[in-house]
């Protein structure tokens, strides 16, 4: 279900890309949501797409970043930042200078704090509107973009937002294309300098691999042992529902319809 | 008849005298049937151990000490059985803890309740300086038990600009709350239902660095805030232990929900009116999606067919008209009427629909397991004694084909009336 996109001459799109982490091996890779963001930008016909990454240039991260270049780019801008730096000031400055129409980011990073705050902080600094959880960009006209936002339970919502804007994508956006080896090798990095701001709080926190969360126990609050036993032994579902016997099909249907209306599942 | 009790001293005396020839008759008359306990003449409780308990199925006397089956009910006025939860009123709070629940589907979700439980812990740390839990909710709702969830004050913002997707207007309202009451803690659900987004916006606006993905909060006297938390980071692969900041976004099951007390949930209003603002984001409303394209596990509204469905074309048509995702019981799948990926239950998909309509499904335990987390279950079945009826919030006894037909007609009628009116 690919939406039809109109031709958007001169639409400048910047995709913020980060270094992901393979959930099983832990190796660096292109981050899934960011790659979906790049794919979304690629689906905008006629748009000029730029990739931007803030971080250090190291052997391992380079391989991951080349994964984005392999999606059909010849160049990736690299804002050089040391390890453990707060990249928001540098990114805000770079975006302010470049002034793209649309900035696409993932919902959360796969490394570091991964709080998902970055797009919100950028939006606050730049004073741009932000839309989260995008599934598709339907079109851009006169500086207003029509977006399709993904809601839980597979639902979609249509929004209009004035550009420039920041949007985030999550797993509902179209799956990214395969990274091609040749373009990934040939692509180049364009290094940019930016202000460096150290993240001191992060250094103070204790970070360890995630523990398994304890399972919640089913606590039965009952006054007597008999009630506790009954609650533990009984089937989880008790009665208490309304039962309509000896009704005509029409009456039954009406009762069901009333419930469906109350729950607002009918459209 | 008046409620005034008339005493008959003689009968009472006979009632107390187990050896009196009329003892049993008088007891029955006084309504003390098999009285096992009564007040003696000089204020001492008397017990009759022979009248306690009941004879079980194998002929043995069983004594049930929970008091549920004893014939102790006296002749007096019946006592009410409903247990009243102790009511908590907090008149002049020292500080406030603000919760912004998701209110998915207009009700407090279990995630919201966990969050309110956490807020109560933060508010009730010190009985000397008692805090209040304030909930801010937006738009219309269907919740009735805010007090029992543990909310002391309720700020309900129901102006038209708060409807739909309106994060900017809601953010303005929350900053007004911040200015008016300067809460000690802000708690929001870290969910995809809006709480995660609103919380991050709020933190960015207030210039606070929030903790996201918080799943455990513990008291720590050494920290200035008195609390530390453990939060998930880096795509769920790290645990970050840090002091609890003012704004926190917590995961489900971060604390136990409130179940033992009832709170006031008094209405609150903002001291100033909301400034009107131009929204830069226009909500054009939800887009109809193809219900059959929605994964069964996350579908909101499921129409599920079992062995009791006879007219399969009618069933598919009903699902289409209602806009429901189709599900099936194992029998319907095994018989080849539905695809395997539509099977609900232990060996199929575990669904989490808000409304689950079971058509002609008997409710085998393997099937019921799969619908444990569904909110409302509607059963259409011929057999009033089946297990699905016990699980259902609404059960209609009758032939599935005819009821579905009637439902389709009704929905179509309603749609046409709407179109004519528009
Ligand atoms: C290991 C194992 C795993 C299983 N896993 C699953 C699973 O994952 N999911 C699953 O669904 N089952 C599962 N089953 C099967 C399960 O035990 C039941 O056999 C099955 O769920 C019954 O399906 P049913 O309710 O559609 O059929 P039935 O039990 O035949 O029920 C039909 C119901 O329809 C009603 N009815 C009949 N005619 C009409 C009519 N005209 N109008 C209205 N009502 C009518 C009847 O009163 C009856 O209540 C499993 C079984 C085993 C052993």
Position B121 in a domain: yes
pLDDT value for A1: 44
Q: A209: which chain B residues are within 8 Å (Cβ-Cβ)?
A: 237-239
Alpha-carbon gap, residue B136 to B154, rounded angstroms: 6
Q: What is the CATH number of the domain that holds B262?
A: 3.40.50.620
Q: Same domain, yes or no, for B205 and B186? A: yes
Same domain, B188 and B324: no
| B412 and B345 fall within a common domain | yes
Cis amide prior to B17 (ω within 30 degrees): no
Average pLDDT over every residue of B154-165: 86
pLDDT tens for B217-230 read: 998 888 888 899 99
Helix crossing, B400-421 with B312-322: angle to 10°? 30
Residue A132 CA to ligand 1 centre (angstroms): 42
pLDDT at B394 over 60: yes
The residue-averaged pLDDT of B358-369 equals 91
Q: Are B102 and B191 in contact (CB under 8 A)?
A: yes
Exposure string for B29-66, b = 16+ CB within 10 A, e = fewer: ebebebbbbbeeeeeeeeeeeebbbeeeeeeeeeeeee
**Of B306, B356, B384, B400, best ligand 1 pocket probe by most atoms within 8 Å of the beta carbon:** B306
Distance, in Å, from the CA atom of B147 to the CA atom of B88, rounded to the nearest integer, reads 9
Superfamily of domain A12-203: HUPs (3.40.50.620)
pLDDT of residue B33: 59
ipTM of this predicted structure: 0.86
Q: Judging by beta carbons within 10 Å of its beta carbon (0-12, 13-18, 19+), is residue A96 exposed, middle or buried?
A: exposed
Summarize pLDDT for B13-22 with one digit per residue, the tens.
887 787 888 8
Residue bearing the CA closest to ligand 1, atom 18:
B364
Of B357, B381, B395, best ligand 1 pocket probe by most atoms within 8 Å of the beta carbon: B381
| Spans of chain A, pLDDT less than 70 | 1-9, 220, 233-240
Query: Residue B80: what pLDDT?
Result: 41
| B286 domain-assigned | no
Q: Tell me the count of A-B CB pairs closer than 8 A.
A: 246
Cβ–Cβ under 8 Å, residues B213 and B232: yes
What residue in A sits closest to B193 (Cα-Cα)? A152
C-alpha B309/C-alpha B347 separation (Å) is 21
Please check whether residue B1 lies inside any domain of the structure. no
Please report residues of A whose CB lies closer than 8 A to that of B298: 152-154
Residue B362, classed as helix, strand or coil, is coil
- Asked if B259 and B320 sit in the same domain, the reply is no
Query: In this predicted structure, what is the pLDDT of residue B1?
Result: 52
CATH number of the domain to which B346 belongs? 3.40.50.1220
Asked if pLDDT for residue B115 goes beyond 90, the answer is yes
| Same-domain pairing of B100 and B231 | yes
B76 close to B32: Cβ distance less than 8 angstroms: no
**DSSP class per residue in B329-350:** -HHHHHTTSS-GGGBBSTTSBP
pTM exceeds 0.90 for this model: no
Closest CA to A115 of B395, B262, B229, B363: B229
Nearest to B294 by CA among B352, B334, B348, B346: B352
**Integer Rg of chain B from CA:** 29
Q: B67 near B156, Cβ under 8 Å?
A: no
Query: Which chain B residues contact residue A256 at CB under 8 A?
Result: 357, 378, 380, 394, 396, 403, 407
Better-predicted residue by pLDDT, B129 or B356:
B356
Rounded alpha-carbon distances, angstroms, from residue B234 to A77, A174, A209, B202 = 24, 22, 10, 21
Residues B218 and B332 occupy one common structural domain: no
Per-residue pLDDT of B2-52, as tens digits, reads 667 778 888 888 877 878 888 878 877 776 655 567 677 777 877 777 777
Q: Is A265 on the interface with B (CB under 8 A)?
A: yes
pLDDT at B187 over 90: yes
pLDDT per position as a tens digit, B350-362: 888 889 999 999 9
Taking residues B246-256, report their average pLDDT: 91
Phi, psi of B192 (to 5 degrees): -85, 0
pLDDT of res. B2: 60
Residues B59 and B14 in one domain: yes
CB atoms B376 and A132 under 8 Å = no
Given a cut of 70, whether residue B75 has pLDDT beyond it is no
If you search the block for the tokens 């569904």, which residue do you land on? B374
Round to whole Å and give the CA distance between A115 and A109: 7
Residue of minimum CA distance from atom 53 in ligand 1: B366
Give tens-digit pLDDT for B164-174.
888 888 999 99
pLDDT band at B397 (very low <50, low <70, confident <90, very high): very high
Looking at B83, B98, B119, the residue that finishes a domain is B83
Q: Looking at the structure, tell me whether residues B174 and B99 fall in a common domain.
A: yes
* B64 and B148 both lie in a single domain: no
Q: Say whether both B178 and B114 belong to one domain.
A: yes
Q: Which residues of A touch B106 (CB under 8 A)?
A: 264
For testing contact with chain A, the best of B258, B378, B385 (most A CBs within 10 A): B378
Which among A156, A162, A253 has CB closest to B286?
A: A156
Residue with tokens 């019921």: B368
Residue with tokens 């209110």: B103
CB contact under 8 A, A249 and B402: yes
Q: Does B312 lie in the same domain as B169?
A: no
pLDDT surpasses 50 at B79:
no
Interface contact B209-A133, CB threshold 8 A: no
At residue B81, does pLDDT exceed 70? no
| Nearest CB to B204 within list A114, A124, A157 | A124
Residues of A in Cβ contact (< 8 Å) with B410: 250, 253-254, 257
Enclosing domain of residue B157: 87-268
Q: What is the mean pLDDT of chain B?
A: 85
Task: Count Cα neighbours of B173 within 13 Å in the Cβ-side half-sphere.
Answer: 25
Pick the residue from chain A with its C-alpha nearest to B418. A267
Q: Give contacts of A 120-149 with B, CB under 8 A.
A: 120-121, 123-124, 129-133, 146, 148-149
pLDDT of residue A15: 94
Q: Is residue B4 part of a domain?
A: no
Based on the structure, what is the number of domains in chain B?
Answer: 3
In the predicted structure, residue B368 carries a pLDDT above the cut 70:
yes
Considering the domain architecture, whether residues B233 and B142 belong to the same structural domain is answered as yes
Q: Does A266 touch chain B (CB under 8 A)?
A: yes
Of B245, B219, B251, the C-alpha closest to B232 is: B251
Query: What pLDDT shows up at residue A123?
Result: 93
Among B202, B205, B237, the strongest candidate for a mutation testing the A interface, having the largest count of A CBs within 10 A, is: B237
**Residue closest to B133 by CA, chosen among B122, B144, B142:** B122
A30 within 8 A of A66, measured Cβ to Cβ: no
* CB within 8 Å: A239 and B390: yes
Full DSSP string of A128-149: --EEEEEEEEEEEETTEEEEEE
Task: In whole angstroms, give the CA distance from residue A136 to residue A150.
Answer: 9
Q: What is the pLDDT at residue B34?
A: 56
User: Can you tell me the distance from the alpha carbon of B68 to that of B413, in angstroms, rounded to the nearest whole number?
Assistant: 51
Last residue of a domain, one of B26, B51, B83: B83
Average pLDDT over residues B400-415: 91
Boundary-marking domain end, from B63, B83, B103? B83
Residues 6+ positions from B403 with CB-CB distance below 8 Å: A249, A252, A253, A256, B380, B396
Rounded average pLDDT over B87-113: 88
């Amino acid at each position: 279900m690919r939406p039809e996109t109109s031709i958007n001459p001169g639409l400048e799109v910047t995709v913020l890309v980060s270094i992901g982490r393979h959930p099983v091996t832990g190796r660096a890779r292109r981050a899934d949501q960011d790659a979906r963001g790049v794919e979304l930008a690629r689906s905008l016909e006629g748009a000029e797409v730029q990739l931007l990454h803030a971080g250090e240039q190291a052997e391992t991260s380079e391989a991951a970043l080349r994964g984005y270049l392999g999606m059909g780019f010849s160049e990736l801008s690299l804002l050089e930042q040391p390890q453990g730096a707060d990249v928001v000031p540098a990114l805000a400055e770079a975006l302010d200078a470049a002034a793209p129409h649309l900035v696409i980011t993932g919902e959360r990073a796969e490394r570091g704090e991964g709080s998902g705050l970055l797009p919100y902080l950028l939006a606050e600094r730049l004073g741009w509107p932000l839309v989260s959880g995008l599934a598709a960009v339907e079109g851009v006209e006169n500086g207003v973009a029509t977006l399709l936002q993904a809601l839980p339970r597979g639902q979609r919502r249509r929004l209009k937002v004035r550009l420039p804007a920041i949007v985030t994508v999550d797993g509902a956006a179209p799956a990214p294309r395969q990274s091609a080896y040749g373009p990934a090798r040939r692509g180049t990095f364009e290094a940019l300098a930016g202000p460096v701001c150290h993240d001191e709080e992060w250094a103070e926190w204790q970070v360890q691999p995630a523990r398994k969360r304890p399972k919640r126990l089913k606590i039965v609050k009952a006054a007597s042992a008999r009630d506790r036993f009954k609650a533990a032994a009984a089937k989880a579902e008790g009665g208490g529902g309304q039962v309509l016997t000896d009704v005509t099909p029409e009456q039954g249907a009406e009762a069901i319809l009333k419930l469906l209306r109350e729950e607002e599942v009918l459209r | 008849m008046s409620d005034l009790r008339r005493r008959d001293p003689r009968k009472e005396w006979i009632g107390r005298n187990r050896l009196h020839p009329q003892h049993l008759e008088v007891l029955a008359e006084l309504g003390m049937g098999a009285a096992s306990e009564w007040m003696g003449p000089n204020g001492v409780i008397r017990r009759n151990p022979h009248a306690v308990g009941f004879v079980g199925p194998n002929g043995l006397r069983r004594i049930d000490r929970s008091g549920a089956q004893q014939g102790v009910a006296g002749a007096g006025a019946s006592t009410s059985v409903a247990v009243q939860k102790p009511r908590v009123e907090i008149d002049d709070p020292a500080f406030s803890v603000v919760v912004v629940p998701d209110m998915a589907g207009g009700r407090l979700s279990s995630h919201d309740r966990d969050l309110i439980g956490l807020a109560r812990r933060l508010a009730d740390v010190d009985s000397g300086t008692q805090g209040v839990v304030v909930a801010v909710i937006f738009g219309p709702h269907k919740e009735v038990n805010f007090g029992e969830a543990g909310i002391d004050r309720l700020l309900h913002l129901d102006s038209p600009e708060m409807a739909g997707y309106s994060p900017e207007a809601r953010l303005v309202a929350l900053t007004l709350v911040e200015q008016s009451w300067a809460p000690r803690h802000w708690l929001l659900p870290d969910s995809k239902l809006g709480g995660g987004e609103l919380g991050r916006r709020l933190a960015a606006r207030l210039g606070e660095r929030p903790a996201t993905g918080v799943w455990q909060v513990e008291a720590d006297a050494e920290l200035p805030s008195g609390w530390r938390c453990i939060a998930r980071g880096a795509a769920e692969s790290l645990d970050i232990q840090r002091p609890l900041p003012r704004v926190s976004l917590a995961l489900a099951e971060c604390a136990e929900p409130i179940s033992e007390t009832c709170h006031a949930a008094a209405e609150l209003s903002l001291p100033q009116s909301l400034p009107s603002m131009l929204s830069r984001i226009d909500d054009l409303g939800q887009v109809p999606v193809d219900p059959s394209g929605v994964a069964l596990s996350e579908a909101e509204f499921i129409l599920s067919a079992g062995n009791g469905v006879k007219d399969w074309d009618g069933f598919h048509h009903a699902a289409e008209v209602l806009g429901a995702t189709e599900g099936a019981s194992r029998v319907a799948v095994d018989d080849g009427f539905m695809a395997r990926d539509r099977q609900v239950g232990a060996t199929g998909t575990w669904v989490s629909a808000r409304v689950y309509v079971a058509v002609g499904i008997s409710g085998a335990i393997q099937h019921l397991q799969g619908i444990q987390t569904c909110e409302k279950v509607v059963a259409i079945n011929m057999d009033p004694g089946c297990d699905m009826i016990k699980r259902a919030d609404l059960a209609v006894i009758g032939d599935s084909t005819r009821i579905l037909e009637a439902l389709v007609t009704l929905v179509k009628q309603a749609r046409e009336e709407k179109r004519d009116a528009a």
